[in-house]
Amino acid sequence: MADFLQLLIAGIATGAIYALAAIGFTLLWQTSQTINFAQGEFVMLPAFFALAAMKWGGAPFWLACLVAVAMSLLILGVAFKGLIVDPLIKHGAMPLVISTIGLSIFLKDGVKDAYSAEAQPFPAIFPDRLIEILGVKVSLAQIGVLIIAFGVIFVLQWFLGGTRIGRQMQATAQNPTVARILGVPVERMILYTFLINAALAAMASLLISPIYLAKFSSGETLGMAAFVAAIVGGFNQVRGAIAGGIIVGVLDNMAAVYVSTAYRQAVPLVLLVLIILFRPQGLLGRKEERAV
Amino acid sequence: MTRFNALKTPLIVLALALLILVPADLTGFGIPWGGLKRYGIYILSLWLVTSIAAMGVNLIVGYAGQETLAQAAFLGIGAFTSALLLKAGYPFFVVFLLAGALAFLVGIVLGFPALRVQKHYLAFVTLAFTVFMWLVIRNEDWLTGGVSGMDVKRPVILGVSTKPGLTFYYLILAMTAVLTFALRWILNSPWGRAFTALRENPIRAESLGIDVRTYILLAFAIGSAYGGFAGALYAPLVEFIDPAPFALGPSLLFMLMVVVGGAGSFAGPFIGAAVAVLLPEWLRFAEGLYLIIFSVIVMLMMALCPTGIVGLIERIFTPARRPHADDKGPVLKEAK
């Protein structure tokens, strides 16, 4: 039982990180119909910004983290929107999907050539000391991850629902045309979405890299987890992405122990297929009404 | 009719003649051309095999308007079927047909979700299938050799060994030609026109009496079978197979090459496959940077010409004064 609880807590901790990536994914989808096949690489990259700042800039760790967030906002937010999404969005979904696949190859191989092909150890924000609560061993790092991830999610929920800008962003997501008529600066709201996605990716990157190491190819697994989380939870709901992230994180950890390490990756995928077949709007999603 | 269309038949004949003659040693006929070296022949063979699989993706994506990220998995099904059956001593053509048939059947099963879900969700289902197939290939050592892979021998056909690269190349060329004309025939038949109707407007297609469900399944099954056929040629071509070429990355690449080449146009897959197979060879000087250059080209291509290279060529050959109703574009142009 204690083992089970330990796995559960570890699963929720990684799941909360997946949720960060999945929320960004759904936000982009909602406001600009962008399916970002490079989302995993978006989570892989910021850790390398931080590593580069420490290695070549001699920056201390806290400064390197800030640099990573700033670079993410600039490159994964502003540049991604301006250079890739904006010129392509008018041509429909397919060219954009292909372009983000190209982007994922670009980022992966860019990091491999510019930094290293080896997995890099990444300094942890929290000490990895074990403490015991009611007979269950929990590491401080896991608790730290949980607090930060849920803190970010909470702030984001408050921002989207409780502030004027947040509500304008929701209006843009639901119906850009009506939002524009009502005087919402739709273009700026879409830019905010991309910035939030970049910031969430950076947070996820700084939290997950101490656990799984920073590696150029880790975007493949991370992207898949974010993908599955977003769809399982509901593509059009932020709280769906949170639930989906946690489910995927827990399943992932449990499957490694209770199913088989060889087919560990298959378990979230089976869930994905079942959800798509029997509840395509996701666990918490609304049905999308489509015009003919 | 554009000027480009008028040139089509002579171009196809010319291309076929070049494909037959260029790799061969012609010095015996008094022509000072020694043919391609072994590696050149291998790359050309690889391009044709890739084109076959890409043709299948083009049928599903470009003509029927569905999405698939599973072609590398079907390539794998074909490759391991042919590797195992060739080892067991079955004749090549039987193996070839069985590989295609197995991919066809699995394609039908995978096509069923397509009836329930739309577009991108379908892409996710096929994506899951690809990862699952890859896990099976990697983990079931007793069948596939797992990560250490398995050797494949080139077959002997009617007493002729296809061990030499050039002989096997001609086998591949013949199979490619057969499959190309078969697909062309399908597309020009009422079936093929139904596929296009499906892409243009599924609801209208249905109201015209086209059984949408059957045609989506058929497109999926035939497209997947082409992946299986390609795999049956791929395994003996490279003579060694392991899980790597059948993973998710290559599956994405198939989709990418079809759209970059020009989805929904017949020449698109060949051009896209050329970009994916031949371009790395030309970019050899750049060594490790080749994937970076390749991905930048893809992103630029999508930004500047989302209808792909074929679209670009047609734009050049089409007189500018007529902004005519484009019959090739809708898959790409359709607004979100």
Q: Which amino acid is at A164?
A: R
CB contact under 8 A, A272 and B292: no
Interface A-B: count of C-beta contacts within 8 A: 117
Residue with the larger pLDDT of the pair A175 and A22: A22
pLDDT at A139: 83
| Distance in angstroms between the alpha carbons of the first and the last residue of chain A | 52
For residue B316, give every residue at least 6 positions away whose Cβ sits within 8 Å of its Cβ, in sequence order, or none: none
* For range A89-100, the mean pLDDT: 84
- The answer on pLDDT for A172 being more than 70 is yes
Encoded tokens for A187: 């273009």
CB-CB contact of A23 with A241 (8 Å):
yes
Q: Quote the DSSP letter at residue A80.
A: I
Query: What is the sign of the dihedral through the CA atoms of A31, A34, A40 and A44?
Result: negative
CB-CB contact of B228 with B115 (8 Å):
no
Residue with the larger pLDDT of the pair B115 and A19: A19
Pinpoint the alpha helices (H) of chain A.
Answer: 2-32, 39-56, 61-72, 86-89, 93-114, 140-162, 164-174, 176-181, 186-212, 219-233, 238-258, 266-278
ipTM of the complex: 0.83
Strand partners, A45: none
Q: How does pLDDT run across B281-319, given as a tens digit for each residue? A: 777 777 677 788 888 888 888 888 888 888 888 878 776
Which of chain B's residues have a Cβ under 8 Å away from the Cβ of A231? 121, 124
Interface residues on B facing A, Cβ-Cβ cutoff 8 A:
113, 116-117, 119-121, 123-125, 127-129, 131-132, 135, 138-139, 203, 248-249, 252, 255-256, 259-260, 263, 288-289, 291-292, 294-296, 298-299, 302-303, 306, 331-336
CB-CB contact of A41 with A227 (8 Å):
no
Residue with the larger pLDDT of the pair B99 and B291: B99
The shortest C-alpha distance from B42 to chain A (Å) reads 25
Q: How does pLDDT run across A51-68, given as a tens digit for each residue? A: 999 998 888 999 999 999
pLDDT at B72: 94
- The answer on pLDDT for A289 being more than 70 is no
Q: How does pLDDT run across B226-259, given as a tens digit for each residue? A: 999 999 999 999 989 988 899 888 888 898 899 8
Average confidence score pLDDT of chain A: 87
CB-CB contact of A153 with A22 (8 Å):
no
Output b/e per residue, B190-208; b: 16+ Cβ within 10 A: ebbebbbbbbeebeebeee
pLDDT at B235: 94
Residue with the larger pLDDT of the pair B6 and B108: B108
CA distances B181 to A201, B10, B98, B188, Å, are: 48, 16, 20, 10
CB contact under 8 A, A92 and B288: no
| A266 contacts chain B (CB < 8 A) | yes
Euclidean distance between CA atoms B223 and A247, whole angstroms: 34
| A220 contacts chain B (CB < 8 A) | yes
pLDDT at B330: 45
pLDDT at B2: 52
Backbone angles phi, psi at B333, to 5 degrees: -90, -25
Nearest to B257 by CA among B51, B65, B78, B70: B51
Q: How does pLDDT run across A258-274, given as a tens digit for each residue? A: 887 788 888 888 888 88
CB contact under 8 A, A103 and B295: yes
Confidence of residue B4 (pLDDT cuts 50, 70, 90): low
Share of chain B above pLDDT 70, in %: 89
Question: What is the SS3 assignment for A36?
Answer: coil
Q: Which of A41, A99, A112 to mutate to test the interface with B (most CBs of B within 10 A)?
A: A99
Euclidean distance between CA atoms A112 and B309, whole angstroms: 29
Share of chain B above pLDDT 90, in %: 29
CB-CB contact of A49 with A72 (8 Å):
yes
Q: How does pLDDT run across B115-170, given as a tens digit for each residue? A: 777 667 778 888 889 999 999 998 888 888 878 888 888 888 887 787 788 889 99
pLDDT at B6: 65
CB contact under 8 A, B298 and A98: yes
| A91 contacts chain B (CB < 8 A) | yes
Angle formed at CA B202 by CA A37 and CA A173, multiple of 5 degrees: 45
Give me the residue from B135, B249, B260 closest to A266, CB to CB. B135
pLDDT at B5: 61
Count of Cβ atoms closer than 10 Å to residue A17 Cβ:
28
pTM here? Answer: 0.86
| A198 contacts chain B (CB < 8 A) | no
- The answer on pLDDT for B181 being more than 80 is yes
Give me the residue from B132, B259, B296 closest to A106, CB to CB. B296
Residue with the larger pLDDT of the pair A91 and A85: A85
Name the residue ranges covered by the structural domains of chain B. 3-26+37-333
* For range B173-199, the mean pLDDT: 87
Output b/e per residue, B278-314; b: 16+ Cβ within 10 A: eeeeebeeeeeebbbebbeebbebbbebbbbbbbebb
Q: What stretch of H or E contains B161?
A: strand B160-161
pLDDT at B1: 44
Residue found by looking up tokens 């991905």 in the block = B295
| A92 contacts chain B (CB < 8 A) | yes
Residue with the larger pLDDT of the pair B192 and A195: A195
Q: How does pLDDT run across A208-249, given as a tens digit for each residue? A: 998 888 998 888 889 989 989 988 888 777 888 899 999 999
| A273 contacts chain B (CB < 8 A) | yes
Confidence of residue A128 (pLDDT cuts 50, 70, 90): confident
Euclidean distance between CA atoms B67 and A98, whole angstroms: 12
pLDDT at B335: 41
Angle formed at CA B147 by CA B141 and CA B153, multiple of 5 degrees: 80
- The answer on pLDDT for A159 being more than 80 is yes
pLDDT at B320: 58
Give me the residue from A98, A227, A231 closest to B260, CB to CB. A98
Give me the residue from B256, B291, B303 closest to A101, CB to CB. B256
Which of chain A's residues have a Cβ under 8 Å away from the Cβ of B244? none
